[in-house]
Structure 1
């Protein structure tokens, strides 16, 4: 769903109803810092930080970013430390505290028989953020970790190491790198005597084909606890088609039979699995269960719900287009600087429009998707295909990689009402991602013309599921 669209409010509603509610673990350091600068309406993040194991870290975060009453309109948000292979300590503290707060709020008040669980979803592509994000989530006793957009083979070991109180480390993909590099977090160094015992959450690997699931399953050291099998229509980033990239008349990647997982082979692995990507109707949920899945992962229905983190204006535009049948989602092969296709909802005034995209000054200041590379002198540099072209070329990139690349980081922050306001008056445009399957959303807007809640979406999805059957829906 993007940054904080699947936020703590949505995840808590889904979990309270007895299912698996999942928060986004992407860019939570930026989210927390900006909400605090906006005065933390309702005091929710400050309430969560009161429970953070290290009062000193929590206070440093508040001292740096909290503005009582909120910043003056038009004032730019303060920058936060950028991710590197060795992120500054202040950046690590902010990230750990932010992910803790998001999971803690999602789990707040979840008690009693029938309540579900809370998970966190991170992107394998954003490796430099992973160790601190997962440490923060584990400090809040997260139940599940979900990860895709790559091959998450090192996450089981990372979770085991963190649960044992040791250094959590994963390999870093460095372009042109001759030496193996790592990203790590040291819980003892960060929290010292404030470090509590940690519980290892279950890990669900997001895969698109059975071959990847088989690879991850074969070795106990990298084996996940289950899978989310994601089909091409799912929102956000998706795996490129296997083989040579071919585009249709709308310039979208063409997927074929090779891009569909063999569910019988996945079921034979013996681990629980969920299906995702065009499973947004009661009929598709029943079909998934009949195929051996324990449930489905659904994004679009919940992203459009009143409980998601989407700003009201953006949600209103999307629902208006849904009512008239004009809502369209394009799988853009160029939008993401990662090189993965990315689903973009077509909205007036957003970066989905060519003229809006071209009017935006190119810059990369949040930098979550920038790629480490090894310079000729052996030092590590960082570049992003969405940064100013001359800077990208100076860092050894090629101009072809910059064509059509959009700034996902700033666009996704704008979607949730936290877009940057520049000193020159420029305000970041939105860039909304949804799944391409709108059948369930179309049915719900017919029943609920003014929009729906997460609980209403769950009720719809469960209509063909026997009452005694448990379904996990990742909100």
Structure 2
């Protein structure tokens, strides 16, 4: 029987709904702000924000929001250097290649650090304007080389939550403590081929950015670890130095990256991973850890929030429903196309075990003309010029190199990997950036095609208006039909 009554209230100070961090800037500052204005947790995606900021500035920043945010960045000279490098008054001409940004690496690089800090600051700062609702930021643990600088920028803007998945964020609590006091912080970076005892790190020293400026201690954000099993949750919770402040318990229906099935990988007739009973986490064991948790992946249907709370959860995380709403960062034409195909019953989402260079299964919306289309993928020249999913590896001379299975096959083989590693790999970095209208245009006229990610459960669309808003989604999830809204002064209204 369908449960339709409104859910009970979550514990004091915690949201019952977390808006998931989808794609690259699909969950952007406008969407996060719209969700936070309802009193729920608005979340910006923290992936590749350096690229996003640099390219938006090259479009001229017509509304001036980015320059207003950068003006509030409390780091002497940083905003001025970024604007001098990337801002183009009036914007670049259509089809003009974007100026590149420094790629992630282990060697210190001032320009890269400054751009990463500023980009994360800008996104969180803009999301938090005009209301007093909560704002969080979502990261992939896999992208370790960006984490310290990205987190520091988000904290400078007052992020209340850091949500991290696609890995084991065991070092993040310590990083948050250090950065809250403007102390140097670092995380370990996995380097393929490194032997036991060899530790590689990426870090940030706020003192080098502050240039003598004295800032008050920052608020340490709550850390929510995205996990797919009660075993991993118990591992993280067992020690104070690795314990997060809560969990997002994510199932395989969620958009973006998913955990692979436990045990040997088995594929069904369409080539998608097969999940079984071992992949269903025990919510009772999660609850017994004494930390709040939210259920994610296929929880946007009627009564889902109530059912989650009855299972002991604080609430739910929902990504796809927000990714398709009016405030989404998706390119408007692509968003309308997705909604139209879904309404016609023609939209399918595939959980591709090979697409992501990160090695995790990745959800791809099957839309003609995008990188989901095998013909489009085959016609794309293989290159890796953004590199957020590159893997550091130890070369024969003990120096560190970088490789990506979506790069040219010959280059990947020269770096010590078999050609089979490259089969089926998509360039997620370029494809996801293109999905928000910021795809690169090459000097030879080639334009990067988009790649679209959604969750596999689209049934919620039947309960929402044709061109719905973030507030409509919140109202639907709460079972009230409409969400409470927060005015610019922070007062709740309807």
Please give the range of the TM-score, normalised by the shorter of the 2 chains.
over 0.9
User: Distance between the aligned counterparts of 1:318 and 1:87, measured in 2?
Assistant: 41
User: Using a 3 Å threshold, how does the CA distance of structure 1 residues 27 and 376 change in structure 2: closer, same or farther?
Assistant: same
| Matched position secondary structure for 1:174 | coil
Aligned equivalent of 2:138: 121
Query: Pick from 105, 116, 136: which aligns with 2:126?
Result: 105
**Kept in 1: contact 2:257–2:362 (CA 8 A):** yes
Confirm or deny that 1:370 pairs with 2:390.
yes
TM-score, normalised on structure 2?
A: 0.92
Confirm or deny that 1:30 pairs with 2:46.
no
**Kept in 2: contact 1:300–1:441 (CA 8 A):** no
| Matched position secondary structure for 1:357 | helix
User: Distance between the aligned counterparts of 2:481 and 2:473, measured in 1?
Assistant: 14
Structure richer in helix, relative to its length: 1
Query: Pick from 310, 313, 321: which aligns with 1:290?
Result: 310
User: Distance between the aligned counterparts of 1:74 and 1:201, measured in 2?
Assistant: 40
Confirm or deny that 1:49 pairs with 2:65.
no
The structural deviation recorded for 1:191 is 1.9
User: Distance between the aligned counterparts of 2:412 and 2:237, measured in 1?
Assistant: 38
User: Using a 3 Å threshold, how does the CA distance of structure 1 residues 465 and 208 change in structure 2: closer, same or farther?
Assistant: farther
The structural deviation recorded for 1:391 is 0.5
Aligned equivalent of 1:161: 178
User: Distance between the aligned counterparts of 1:37 and 1:201, measured in 2?
Assistant: 31
Cα deviation digits, residues 77-130 of structure 1 (max 9, x gap): 00100100124110000000000000000001123xxxx300000000000111
Aligned equivalent of 2:161: 144
**Kept in 1: contact 2:475–2:483 (CA 8 A):** no
Aligned equivalent of 2:287: 267
Aligned equivalent of 2:81: 60
The structural deviation recorded for 1:340 is 0.4
**Kept in 2: contact 1:188–1:195 (CA 8 A):** no
Structure 1: which 5+ residue stretches go unaligned? 469-475
Confirm or deny that 1:313 pairs with 2:352.
no
TM-score, normalised on structure 1?
A: 0.95
**Kept in 1: contact 2:139–2:164 (CA 8 A):** yes
User: Distance between the aligned counterparts of 1:95 and 1:73, measured in 2?
Assistant: 26
Confirm or deny that 1:416 pairs with 2:436.
yes
Cα deviation digits, residues 133-166 of structure 1 (max 9, x gap): 0000000011000001011100000001111221
The structural deviation recorded for 1:41 is 2.4
The structural deviation recorded for 1:55 is 4.1
Superposition map of 1:80-95 within 5 A: 80-95=101-116
User: Distance between the aligned counterparts of 2:219 and 2:300, measured in 1?
Assistant: 32
User: Distance between the aligned counterparts of 1:180 and 1:319, measured in 2?
Assistant: 47
Query: Pick from 296, 305, 323: which aligns with 1:276?
Result: 296
Aligned equivalent of 2:369: 349
**Kept in 2: contact 1:139–1:196 (CA 8 A):** no
Q: How many residues align?
A: 460
| Matched position secondary structure for 2:164 | strand
Aligned equivalent of 2:490: none
- Ranges of 4+ aligned residues in structure 1 off by more than 3 Å: 464-468
Cα deviation digits, residues 222-253 of structure 1 (max 9, x gap): 00000000001100000000111000011000
Aligned equivalent of 1:457: 473
**Kept in 2: contact 1:282–1:464 (CA 8 A):** no
**Kept in 1: contact 2:471–2:483 (CA 8 A):** no
**Kept in 2: contact 1:350–1:431 (CA 8 A):** yes
Query: Pick from 197, 209, 225: which aligns with 1:205?
Result: 225
**Kept in 2: contact 1:187–1:195 (CA 8 A):** no
The root-mean-square deviation of aligned C-alpha atoms, in Å, is 1.4
User: Distance between the aligned counterparts of 1:155 and 1:427, measured in 2?
Assistant: 37
User: Distance between the aligned counterparts of 1:260 and 1:404, measured in 2?
Assistant: 28
**Kept in 1: contact 2:145–2:189 (CA 8 A):** yes
**Kept in 1: contact 2:142–2:389 (CA 8 A):** yes
Confirm or deny that 1:189 pairs with 2:205.
no
Aligned equivalent of 1:40: 61
Query: Pick from 23, 30, 35: which aligns with 1:9?
Result: 30
User: Using a 3 Å threshold, how does the CA distance of structure 1 residues 467 and 438 change in structure 2: closer, same or farther?
Assistant: closer
**Kept in 2: contact 1:128–1:172 (CA 8 A):** yes
The structural deviation recorded for 1:192 is 2.3
The structural deviation recorded for 1:442 is 3.3
User: Distance between the aligned counterparts of 1:65 and 1:181, measured in 2?
Assistant: 31
**Kept in 2: contact 1:322–1:442 (CA 8 A):** no
**Kept in 2: contact 1:372–1:380 (CA 8 A):** yes
| Matched position secondary structure for 1:321 | helix
Q: Which moves more between the two structures, 345-354 or 279-288?
A: 279-288
Aligned equivalent of 1:395: 415
Query: Pick from 236, 240, 246: which aligns with 1:220?
Result: 240
Confirm or deny that 1:435 pairs with 2:455.
yes
